């Protein structure tokens, strides 16, 4: 399982509805937009240059006190 898939799975388990789409901007560069919703009024949208960055940014917005290092440590524990 890819790292971004693990984060996305955790969002789903926490009852967040989420999605990620890729498109091309006016300069021909690929951009990724991730969106998550939970209940009424809880919505986060992020834009990034790759899927992993978009999903990590989304997780960071939802769990602002959780650092990337903490997220990576949790991910590594699930693999081992």
Alpha carbon 12 to its chain centroid, in Å, reads 11
Q: What is the pLDDT of residue 73?
A: 54
State the CATH number of the domain containing residue 63. Answer: 3.30.160
Burial of 59 (0-12, 13-18, 19+ CB in 10 A): buried
Our count of domains for the chain comes to 1
**Backbone φ and ψ of 31, nearest 5°:** -130, 150
Residue 26: give the domain boundaries. 3-79
**pLDDT over 50 at 76, yes or no:** no
Q: What is the pTM of this model?
A: 0.64
**pLDDT over 50 at 1, yes or no:** yes
Q: Using one digit for the tens of pLDDT, what is the confidence trace for 4-63?
A: 788 888 888 888 888 889 999 899 999 999 888 887 778 888 888 888 888 888 888 777
């Amino acid at each position: 399982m890819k790292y971004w898939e693990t984060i996305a799975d955790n969002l789903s388990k926490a009852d967040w509805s989420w999605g990620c789409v890729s498109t091309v901007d006016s300069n021909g560069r690929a951009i990724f937009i991730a969106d998550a919703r939970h209940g009424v009024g809880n919505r986060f949208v992020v834009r990034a240059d790759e899927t992993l960055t978009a999903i990590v940014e989304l997780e960071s917005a939802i769990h602002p006190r959780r650092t990337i290092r903490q997220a990576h440590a949790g991910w590594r524990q699930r693999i081992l």
